[in-house]
């Protein structure tokens, strides 16, 4: 698949192949590649996972580890000759929740930044709205924040893909 524009949202479940799909889009662009990783290592397993992902990407990527200031990181990498892959928005929402941040304001800043970007931007996120209603308040708030963020971003990006079992479905573009 190819992009119809310069911005895309790639959604899917855990281990659906969404990151691999977005990375292929970035590689196929032929542009300088930036990877904005939003994950935080709260335990050894996550530290190992982050290191493995960094090693798997290789030296062709310029990696930025940005758990909170996603809009600022996109502004810094905003060059028309670059492709910027953000992985992932749901970890970013988690980080904002853990820091008691104003998520609607931060989401609005991100949407404005995406709309103004000159770089090609690929945003990866977990679709969390396909399951049952979570049993606890924090999980419901997380699902609601992620769902609203996805809707706001989908409204402004050129392409939206849903990935299941490694197969992409173009939803927009």
So which residues are the catalytic ones?
Answer: 53
Query: Angle at the Cα of 33 (from 23 to 125), degrees rounded to 5?
Result: 40
Residue by residue, what is the 3-state secondary structure of 25-78? HHHHHCCEEEEEECCCCCCHHHHHHHHHHHHHHCCCEEEEECCCCHHHHHHHCC
Beta carbons of 95 and 68 less than 8 angstroms apart: yes
Token pair for 41: 């290592």
Token pair for 137: 């308040």
Is 10 strand, coil or helix?
Answer: strand
Is 103 strand, coil or helix?
Answer: helix
């Amino acid at each position: 698949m190819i992009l119809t524009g310069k911005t895309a949202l790639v959604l899917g479940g855990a281990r659906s192949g969404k990151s691999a799909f977005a990375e292929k889009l970035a590689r196929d662009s032929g542009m300088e590649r930036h990877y904005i990783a939003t994950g935080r290592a709260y335990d050894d397993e996550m530290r190992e996972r982050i290191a493995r992902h960094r090693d798997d990407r290789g030296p062709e990527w310029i990696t930025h580890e940005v758990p909170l200031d996603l809009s600022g990181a996109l502004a810094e990498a905003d060059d028309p000759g670059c492709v910027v892959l953000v992985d992932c928005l749901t970890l970013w929402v988690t980080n904002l929740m853990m820091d008691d941040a104003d998520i609607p304001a931060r989401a609005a800043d991100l949407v404005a930044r995406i709309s103004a970007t000159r770089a090609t931007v690929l945003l990866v996120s977990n679709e969390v709205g396909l399951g049952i209603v979570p049993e606890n308040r924090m999980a419901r708030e997380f699902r609601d924040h992620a769902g609203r963020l996805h809707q706001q971003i989908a409204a402004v990006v050129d392409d939206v893909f849903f990935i299941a079992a490694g197969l992409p479905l173009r939803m927009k573009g």
